């Protein structure tokens, strides 16, 4: 199982393709706060709800100085379909080899319907402008997570 990140840790840098195949790097966001959220699969009910909640609150988050990046093991083509179908404004990137998911502690054993399985652990990591972890939330719920995040971050 991968190690979970804690406040004060250096956020692992990454460069991953977005829905259009363009590279997105955490380093490009240095100097701003970044919400990096990890979700299991595009076009599924929970992940759609979460992505729509982030999209609906993107202006509020941006005004508070936050950029948002969603990461899943999906292919860029599937992310493009997801973005188009749901009119998503959030940046979605593909981590097909799960290396970034693993580096962030968002891939490993989890309980699913009472069984232990290996997969994506729905997680959100807040990266400070200097590249360190400000907050790390693991096993978050898809529904209501963004509202709770807004409250926790006092936005």
Provide the β-strand partners of residue 125.
Answer: 36, 136
- Residue from 88, 78, 71 nearest 43 by CA: 78
Question: If you write DSSP's letter for every residue of 5-38 in order, what string do you get?
Answer: P-TTSBPPP-EEEBTTS-EEEGGGGTTSEEEEEE
Catalytic residue from among 47, 51, 125, 126: 47
52 is annotated as an active-site residue? no
Residue with tokens 């399985």: 117
Contact 72/98 with Cβ under 8 angstroms?
A: no
Residue 74 φ then ψ, to 5°: -70, 160
Q: How far apart are CA 126 and CA 78, in angstroms?
A: 25
Contact 36/61 with Cβ under 8 angstroms?
A: no
Q: Which residues are catalytic?
A: 47
């Amino acid at each position: 199982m991968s190690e979970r990140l804690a406040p004060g840790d250096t956020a692992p840098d990454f460069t991953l393709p977005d829905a259009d195949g363009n590279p997105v790097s955490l380093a490009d966001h240095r100097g701003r706060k970044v919400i990096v959220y990890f979700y299991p699969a595009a076009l599924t009910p929970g992940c759609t709800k979460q992505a729509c909640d982030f999209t609906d609150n993107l202006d509020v988050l941006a005004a508070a100085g936050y950029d948002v990046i969603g990461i899943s093991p999906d292919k860029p083509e599937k992310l493009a379909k997801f973005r188009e179908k749901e009119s998503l404004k959030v940046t979605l990137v593909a981590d097909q080899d799960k290396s970034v998911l693993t580096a962030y502690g968002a891939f490993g054993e989890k309980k699913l319907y009472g069984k232990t399985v290996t997969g994506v652990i729905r997680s959100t990591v807040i990266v400070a402008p200097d590249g360190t972890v400000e907050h790390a939330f693991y096993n978050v719920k898809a529904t209501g997570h963004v509202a709770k995040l807004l409250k926790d971050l006092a936005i």
